Amino acid sequence: MTQTHGKTVESRPTVNFDVRHLILTNGVPILFLALSITMAMVAGLNVTFLLNEVVTRLARNSLLVLSLLIPVTAGMGLNFSIVIGAMAGQAAAIAVTYWGIPGVRGFLLACLLSTPIAAIAGWLAGNVLNRAKGREMITSMILGFFANGIYQLIFLFLVGPIIPLKDPAMLLPQGIGVRNTVDLINMAQAFDKIWRPVIGGVRIPVVTLLVSAGMCVLITFLMKTKIGQDLRAVGQDMHIAEVMGIKVDKTRIIAMILSTVIAGWGQLIFLQNIGTLNTYNSHEQVGMFSIAALLVGGASTRRATIWQAIVGVILFHTLFVVSPLAGQRLFGVPQIGEYFRVFVAYGIIAVALALHAWQGRQVRRQAIKEAMLTE
């Protein structure tokens, strides 16, 4: 309240809207939102078709992206080795398909089987990453390649002569190795079909989305527990965490185990939606695409939130849907659209990391300026 010429005038609070700060902190999602809108307009897609695609991809990819959050919180960067969890999920899916266990029962059994395999793999990966502190991202990428070699050795050479699998429909013609494509007819869309209402022309897999929502709740709850506090402390400063009595190496291993197990479940969610398994290729791009989606949502190598993961999945997969059609519309050659999709997928990571590095420098400069002004 202020007084002017004897009259009382109510002062209104001023809203300080800093556009520069908004761009600095949300530059990546803003960029890709603009790209998505532009390409959707160029492609001329039907809105209902686009919404159906985005909702479907949100349901089947969210869990894989959420599996990246815990290692980031623990200061281990972007976990490229979630492909190990994906391979554990695929191994369980092959076993359940061979046994012929249908529907939700088969899917849940696959989740149960993948859990110990992914946990052991995550424990081994965590031990390796503890010996490569400061270089976790490149080490996790190499671990993924190494695990892929073991996976191919097992399913290409050991299945048949050593590991018994006598279904000709699943084996290569020579009787050694699993076929390149396995039909997951027993567990295809096991969760999606439970409740899939159509609202405004958009088919919504409610149960699958609820699974992702449940994982968001579990991660939020985990971060409020003692383990969650330890993960944060280790992520902020390992040396201080060790002085505080936190077992740093053990905490980092727990982060890797949780990430790998969730990635295994996420890959099973993905596969039940697709309905087929590309035995030797389905897992290869899991890490790359999940990390790209997380970065598009505004996350960085040191900080990532659930909302950034969800926003990233929506933006990345919107762009992934519209980019081939936009490329075809712009250049007039259908194959150009596919090249455009690959360019976008890999270019996103490079652009996002570059923008995050630039944003980090700008924030540091701003902090230095503010410190100098206060002095």
What is the SS3 string spanning 74-88? CCCCCCCCHHHHHHH
Provide the whole-model pTM. 0.87
In the prediction, which pLDDT does 361 show?
A: 74
- Which has the closest alpha carbon to 301: 20, 23, 68? 68
Domain boundaries, the chain: 15-44+306-375, 47-284
pLDDT band of residue 334 (cuts 50, 70, 90) is: low
Radius of gyration over alpha carbons of the chain, in Å?
24
Q: Residue 65's closest CA among 298, 322, 313? A: 313
Strand partners, 7: 4
User: How confident is the model over 21-65, as pLDDT tens digits?
Assistant: 666 667 778 888 888 888 888 878 888 999 999 999 999 999 999
Mean pLDDT over the full length of the chain: 85
The token pair at 173 is 């013609």
**Average pLDDT of 116-142?**
92
Residue 284 pLDDT class (50, 70, 90 cuts):
confident
- The residue whose two tokens read 């532009």 is 38
**pLDDT score for 9:** 47
pLDDT grade for 14, boundaries at 50, 70 and 90:
very low
Cα angle: 86, vertex 36, 81; to 5 degrees:
20
Q: In the chain, pLDDT over 90 holds for what percent of residues?
A: 44
SS3 (DSSP) at 100 = coil
Half-sphere exposure of 24 (CA within 13 A, CB side): 13
CB 77 within 8 A of CB 356: no
Q: What is the pLDDT of residues 145-193, one digit of tens each?
A: 999 999 999 999 998 888 888 888 889 888 888 999 999 888 888 888 8
Confidence check: pLDDT of 10 > 70: no
